[in-house]
């Protein structure tokens, strides 16, 4: 028997990402986010849920650009640090020991230590409640060669991405099936 609970964001797991943005003078900042998701494949778009009180909210809204950087499980300390201090007070790149790398199509930098980086242009902002949804179009993707498989696709075992589940970080790096698995077995 199922137990009924009041509505809450019970969808899991949520990908953990480091989003980079810049202030009007070009100084970079990083925000750790878990309210992130794919929204459209053509054109490729993703969504970020950010509270208006966050320092990065104003930076993304002002510049209209951001980079979504996918960290590895080996970056847990840096990820958590970037989610617990404000960029108003701290240079998160310096504090976390991360390396900014120039992007090609947007002003915010990539994070060199993250094996996958998605350059995005802000297309829309939608107020939802305590979070606002930033919809970004992915204009360029960078992938470290070391995490690609023989077919040139991302090998998620090599990336070893993080996910967030109800206040806890988890790893996500083992394939257990493929899309269409049940149909293949029947045929």
Cβ-in-10-Å burial (0-12, 13-18, 19+) of 98 comes to buried
Catalogue all structural domains in the chain, each as residue range(s) with its CATH number.
14-186 (2.30.110.10)
Residues 6 and 62: their CA atoms lie apart, in Å, by: 36
Q: How confident is the model at residue 142 (pLDDT cuts 50, 70, 90)?
A: very high
What was the pLDDT predicted at 120?
98
Angstrom distances, CA of residue 101 to CA of 55, 67, 77, 142 = 21, 11, 20, 11
Residues 131 and 9: their CA atoms lie apart, in Å, by: 12
Q: How confident is the model at residue 133 (pLDDT cuts 50, 70, 90)?
A: very high
Q: Does an H or E element contain 82, and which? A: helix 76-84
Angstrom distances, CA of residue 131 to CA of 47, 62, 128, 164, 170 = 12, 17, 6, 17, 23
Biggest CA-to-CA distance, the chain:
59
Tokens 């070391």 -> residue:
146
Residues 29 and 69: their CA atoms lie apart, in Å, by: 12
Residues 115 and 71: their CA atoms lie apart, in Å, by: 7
Are the C-beta atoms of residues 72 and 162 closer than 8 Å to each other? yes
Q: Which DSSP string corresponds to 84-146? A: HS-TTT--HHHHHT--EE--SSSSSPEETTSSEEEEEEEEEEEE-SSSEEEEEEEEEEEE-GG
What was the pLDDT predicted at 183?
56
- Answer yes or no: is pLDDT of 186 > 70: no
What was the pLDDT predicted at 155?
94
Are the C-beta atoms of residues 33 and 25 closer than 8 Å to each other? no
pLDDT in tens, 114-130: 999 999 999 999 999 99
* Average confidence (pLDDT) over 110-115: 98
pLDDT in tens, 4-52: 999 988 888 999 999 999 999 999 999 999 999 999 999 999 999 999 9
């Amino acid at each position: 028997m199922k137990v009924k609970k009041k509505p809450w964001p019970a969808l899991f797991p949520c990908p953990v990402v480091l989003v980079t943005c810049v202030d009007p003078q070009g100084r970079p900042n990083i925000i750790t986010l878990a309210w992130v998701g794919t929204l459209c494949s053509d054109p490729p778009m993703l969504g970020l849920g950010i509270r208006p009180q966050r320092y990065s909210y104003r930076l993304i809204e002002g510049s209209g650009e951001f980079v979504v950087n996918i960290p590895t499980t080996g970056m847990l300390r840096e990820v958590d640090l970037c989610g617990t201090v404000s960029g108003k007070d701290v240079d998160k790149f310096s504090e976390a020991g991360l390396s900014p790398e120039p992007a090609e199509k947007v002003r915010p930098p990539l994070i060199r230590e993250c094996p996958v980086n998605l350059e995005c242009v802000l297309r829309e902002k939608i107020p939802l409640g305590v979070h606002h949804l930033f919809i970004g179009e992915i204009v360029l993707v960078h992938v470290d060669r070391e995490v690609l498989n023989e077919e040139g696709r991302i090998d998620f075992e090599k990336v070893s991405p993080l996910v967030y589940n109800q206040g806890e970080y988890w790893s996500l790096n083992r394939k257990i099936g493929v899309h269409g698995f049940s149909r293949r077995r029947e045929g």
